[in-house]
Amino acid sequence: MADINLSFLTLCILPILLLLFLKLIIRPHPVTIPIKSRHVFITGGSSGIGLALARQAAAEGARVTILARNPSKLEEAKASIRLSTGIDVTTVSADVCDFDAVKTAVESVDPIDVLVCNQGVFVAYELEKQEIKEVREMIDVNLVGSFNLVKAVLPGMKSRSDRKPLSIALYVVSGRAGYDVFVSFDLTRL
């Protein structure tokens, strides 16, 4: 009788323990990238979400660079961040669709620890009402632009010998049209 009870217990409990163990080791672990004193490079940082991120990162002690095309909008953003945090961010003007311009911009600043690809345009109608040239622009700026940024930043990140966390966050393709993807990963864990 004792043997039967033991076998029954083993049969019931072992799989449960195994499942709990698997859940513990397999479940994705949230990664926190410390940004204090790190260089955070935010594209589309002259307005909207990018500007809010830049202000927050500066307030948390990061060294921040913002990139966008329009230099006067960049200067306005810089002044508004200074006003609210007392901190000066670096600005660089480039069109993310132009790989050479992106590479030059990336090489003109300190090595990048955290890249946030946030630049974006979106046309606020349903797809069937969008002009083909508008769709192309969204794909060029939001998607190809992000590839250009990652391609320009990755070699510098991969050549770093310190084992501090490095991160790239991608906000791919336009919002409200219903195909958002926001991916962030820590390169030191790849």
Ligand X SMILES: NC(=O)c1ccc[n+]([C@@H]2O[C@H](COP(=O)([O-])OP(=O)(O)OC[C@H]3O[C@@H](n4cnc5c(N)ncnc54)[C@H](OP(=O)(O)O)[C@@H]3O)[C@@H](O)[C@H]2O)c1
User: Can you give the binding site for ligand X, defined by CB under 6 A?
Assistant: 43-44, 46-50, 68-70, 73, 95-97, 118-122, 141-142, 145, 171, 174-176, 180
Element (H, E) at 27: none
- Among residues 71, 146, 159, the alpha carbon closest in space to that of 111 is found at 159
Q: Are 40 and 62 in contact (CB under 8 A)?
A: yes
Question: Least separation, in Å, of the C-beta of 163 and ligand X?
Answer: 31
Closer of 69 and 160 to ligand X (Cβ): 69
Complex with ligand X: residue 60 or 76, whichever CB lies closer: 76
Spatial separation of the C-alpha atoms in residues 13 and 168, rounded to whole Å? 42
123 burial level (CB within 10 Å; 0-12, 13-18, 19+)? middle
Measured from the CB atom, is 22 or 52 closer to ligand X?
52
What minimum distance in Å lies between the beta carbon of 71 and ligand X? 8
Least spacing, CB of residue 105 vs ligand X, in Å: 9
